[in-house]
Amino acid sequence: MYYVKPIVTPVGELMLVASDRGLSAVLWENDNAERVPLTPLSRDDHHPILCEAERQLQQYFAGERRQFTLNYDTTGTPFQKKVWEALLTIPFGETRSYRQIAEQIGHPRAMRAVGAANGKNPLSIVAPCHRVIGSNGKLTGFAGGLTVKAFLLQLEQAQGSLPLAADSMVPLPATNV
């Protein structure tokens, strides 16, 4: 069973999805239902994992958080999970190319597969797939749209010198995606 809670953010309405074990997805308002298929869904505006995810996302947009400290419960292939774990290592306000991610996970020729796994990332913003760009430095596909991707990157660059929430720099273990 998955629980959902819609939240309003500067990038539109997001749908938070969680199991009792952790956050399972952050979905866009017009997200393709097949991109991250999770069922059955039950609305729960008071689920503790969803409320904590909402709080941390609000801090992120307010410039008070650079990293998320949540438990995750995602569904994907071992390769996808490797890519999603790599996303968690991209520092706030920085970018990486698909090639760099492929090299990081030990598959240096798998740029397209990394791109496909990045496109299936269920934890938009939280596992920062918006920080992945083309090798030529151009913005490439993003489930929230390229305008939102540019907005998130600019938001992070502008917030680089702002104070942080007390728990925002706790490192996340890579195995929790």
Q: Which residues are catalytic?
A: 129
SS3 2: strand
Per-residue burial over 72-111, b if 16 or more Cβ lie within 10 Å, else e, is bbbebeeebbbbbbbbbebebbebbbbebbbbbbeeeebb
CB 18 within 8 A of CB 29: no
Residue 19, C-beta contacts closer than 8 angstroms, at least 6 positions apart: 1, 2, 3, 49, 73
User: Which of 106, 117, 125, 119 has its CA nearest to residue 65?
Assistant: 125
Contact between residue 131 and residue 67 where contact means Cβ atoms under 8 Å apart = no
> What 3-state class would DSSP assign to 112?
helix
Are 66 and 88 within 8 A, CB to CB? Answer: no
